């Protein structure tokens, strides 16, 4: 059976765990060679790589903080060194922190915008230098929080609304180079980060499930399968879209 992404090379930022790890694994299962990027969790990234290699895929782990331009340049230099080209970028790295209005500080604001928006733009800027003449696919991981704005999420929601605007703008800007740009906007997905933030149990999760028409929260594979679609030729005439993958939660 022909794999959908055979011969492709993908970079997935923030791929040591959670949604990013799931996307890296699914891209590799469809034949892509994957660069598993991480900022701090080396062990997690190496576990993801080991799992991909065990399953017969190709992957390497590369440390880089997407908030740092020199790190971003090194990430793509290492990608070229390992696999010789680039076809797919998944901008998954992101941070979230919720705060009431009176608790919002400049530090809180800049921490989230620097990673979630500026980091995504700078990573895309560098990636575009490495795409070949056939173009490629940029997939931004946004959130339903871009439009489903909740209390204490003003800054986080603003970053994701910005990601959606960047997606639409870059889709038009890069179309002449056959580079497609789309975003996936997940609802609540069960990840290590969600549990660490205390959002994986209790009233918050019950309320979220009750508001979700499909009556469950997401799993990383729910997002990863859509990433494979947006990375592949199956979505060859789709660009500038924000696709809610949220069980109907809006």
Q: Which of 38, 131, 156, 229 is catalytic?
A: 156
CA dihedral 201, 52, 72, 104 (to 10 degrees): 0
Q: What is the pLDDT of residues 99-156, one digit of tens each?
A: 999 999 999 999 999 999 999 999 999 999 999 999 999 999 999 999 999 999 999 9
Residue 79 reports pLDDT greater than 80: yes
pLDDT tens digit string along 27-50?
999 999 999 999 999 999 999 999
Q: Percent of the chain at pLDDT above 70? A: 97
Confidence of residue 2 (pLDDT cuts 50, 70, 90): confident
d(CA 100, CA 151): 7
Predicted local confidence at residue 217, as pLDDT:
92
Contact status, residue 231 vs residue 8, Cβ threshold 8 Å: yes
Do 16 and 38 contact (CB within 8 A), yes or no? yes
**Structural domains of the chain, ranges and CATH numbers in brackets:** 9-236 (3.40.50.720)
CA atoms within 13 A on the CB side of 224: 20
> According to the model, what pLDDT value does residue 205 have?
86
- The pLDDT value recorded for residue 110 is 97
Average pLDDT over residues 205-234: 95
Active-site residue flag, 156: yes
The mean per-residue pLDDT over the stretch 4-24 comes to: 97
Sign, CA torsion 207/212/214/218: negative
What pLDDT, on a 0 to 100 scale, did the predictor assign at position 198?
64
Q: Does 195 have pLDDT greater than 70? A: no
- Report the chain's mean pLDDT, rounded to a whole number: 95
Q: In whole angstroms, what is the distance from residue 132 CA to residue 17 CA?
A: 29
Which phi and psi angles does 144 have, rounded to 5°?
-65, -15
| Six-digit token string for 213 | 């028409």
Model pLDDT, residue 197: 64
């Amino acid at each position: 059976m022909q794999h959908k992404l055979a011969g492709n090379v993908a970079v997935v930022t923030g791929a040591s765990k959670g949604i990013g790890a799931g996307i890296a694994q699914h891209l590799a299962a469809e034949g892509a060679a994957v660069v598993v990027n991480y900022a701090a969790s080396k062990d997690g990234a190496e576990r993801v790589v080991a799992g991909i290699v065990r399953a017969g895929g190709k992957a390497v782990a590369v440390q880089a903080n997407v908030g740092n331009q020199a790190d971003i340049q090194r990430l793509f230099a290492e990608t070229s060194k390992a696999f010789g080209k680039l076809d797919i970028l998944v901008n998954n790295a992101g941070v979230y922190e919720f705060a009431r209005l009176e608790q919002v500080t400049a530090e809180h604001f800049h921490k989230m915008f620097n990673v979630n928006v500026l980091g995504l733009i700078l990573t895309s800027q560098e990636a575009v230098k490495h795409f070949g003449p056939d173009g490629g696919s940029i997939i931004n991981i946004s959130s339903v929080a871009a439009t489903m704005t909740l209390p204490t999420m003003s800054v986080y929601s603003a970053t994701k609304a910005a990601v959606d605007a960047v997606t639409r703008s870059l889709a038009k800007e890069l179309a002449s180079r056959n580079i497609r740009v789309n975003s996936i906007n997940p609802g609540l997905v069960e990840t290590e980060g969600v549990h660490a933030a205390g959002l994986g149990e209790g009233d918050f999760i019950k309320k979220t499930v009750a508001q979700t028409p499909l009556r469950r929260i997401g799993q990383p594979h729910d997002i990863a399968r859509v990433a494979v679609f947006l990375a592949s030729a199956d979505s060859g005439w789709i660009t500038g879209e924000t696709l809610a993958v949220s069980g109907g939660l809006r």
